[in-house]
Structure 1
Amino acid sequence: MFIDTHLHLVARDRITYPWLKDVAALDRDWTFQDYETTARRIGIEGVLHMEVDCAPTDIAAENTFVGELMAQPGSLMRGAISSARPESGDCEAFLDTLDLDIVKGIRRVLHVVPDDLSQGSLFRENVRRIGQKGLPFDICVLQRQLPLARDLVDACPDTVFVLDHCGVPDIAGDGFADWAQSISALAKRPHVNAKISGITAYAKPDWTLETLRPYVEHIIECFGWDRVVWGSDSPVCTLNSSLDQWMAVTQALIAGASETERASLTHRNAQRIWSI
Structure 2
Amino acid sequence: MLIDAHHHLWRIARNDYGWLTPDEGFLYRDYVPEHFKPILDAHDIARAVVIQAAPSLAETEFLLSLTDAHPYLGAVVGWVDFADRNTPQTLDQFSAHPKFRGVRPMIQDIAEDTWMLREELSGTFVALAERGLSFDALIQPRHLATLIELVSRYPSLRVAINHCGKPEVRAWQVGNADFNAWQAGMTELARHPNVFCKLSALPTRAAPGWTAETFSPYVDVLLTAFGPTRLMWASDWPILERNGRYDDWFHVARALLPESTHADVFGATAKSFYRIDQVCPRAVA
Mark yes or no: TM-score above 0.5: yes
Report the number of matched residues: 268
1:188 aligns with 2:204: no
1:275 aligns with 2:275: yes
The aligned residue for residue 257 of structure 1 is: 259
Does the CA-based 8 Å contact 2:79-2:105 persist in structure 1? yes
Task: Measure, in 2, the Cα distance between the counterparts of 1:31 and 1:59.
Answer: 13
The aligned residue for residue 27 of structure 1 is: 28
Which TM-score applies when normalising by structure 2?
A: 0.89
Does the CA-based 8 Å contact 1:66-1:102 persist in structure 2? no
The aligned residue for residue 109 of structure 1 is: 106
What's the secondary structure of 2:50's corresponding residue?
A: strand
The aligned residue for residue 132 of structure 1 is: 130
The aligned residue for residue 86 of structure 2 is: 90
Runs ≥4 residues deviating over 4 A: none
What's the secondary structure of 1:275's corresponding residue?
A: coil
Q: Map 1:113-124; keep pairs closer than 5 Å.
A: 113=110, 114-124=112-122
Following superposition, the deviation at residue 57 of structure 1 comes to: 4.8
Following superposition, the deviation at residue 47 of structure 1 comes to: 0.6
Amino acid at match of 2:259: A
Following superposition, the deviation at residue 119 of structure 1 comes to: 0.9
Q: Which runs of 5+ in 2 are unaligned?
A: 173-177, 277-285
Task: Measure, in 2, the Cα distance between the counterparts of 1:164 and 1:57.
Answer: 20
Amino acid at match of 1:26: L
Following superposition, the deviation at residue 19 of structure 1 comes to: 0.9
Change (3 A) 1:225 1:235: same
Which TM-score applies when normalising by structure 1?
A: 0.91
The aligned residue for residue 162 of structure 1 is: 160
* Percentage of pairs with the same residue: 25
Task: Measure, in 1, the Cα distance between the counterparts of 2:51 and 2:209.
Answer: 28
What's the secondary structure of 1:195's corresponding residue?
A: strand
Range with greater deviation from structure 2 (105-114 or 233-242): 105-114
Change (3 A) 1:224 1:57: closer
Q: Map 1:24-63; keep pairs closer than 5 Å.
A: 24-52=25-53, 54-63=54-63
Does the CA-based 8 Å contact 1:237-1:243 persist in structure 2? yes
Following superposition, the deviation at residue 56 of structure 1 comes to: 1.7
The aligned residue for residue 226 of structure 2 is: 223
Range with greater deviation from structure 2 (150-159 or 98-107): 98-107
Give the superposed CA RMSD. Answer: 1.6
Does the CA-based 8 Å contact 2:159-2:196 persist in structure 1? yes
Q: Which runs of 5+ in 1 are unaligned?
A: none
Change (3 A) 1:32 1:192: same
Per-residue CA deviations over 1:188-224 (Å, capped at 9, x if unaligned) read 1111011101210000112111001111111010011
The aligned residue for residue 175 of structure 2 is: none
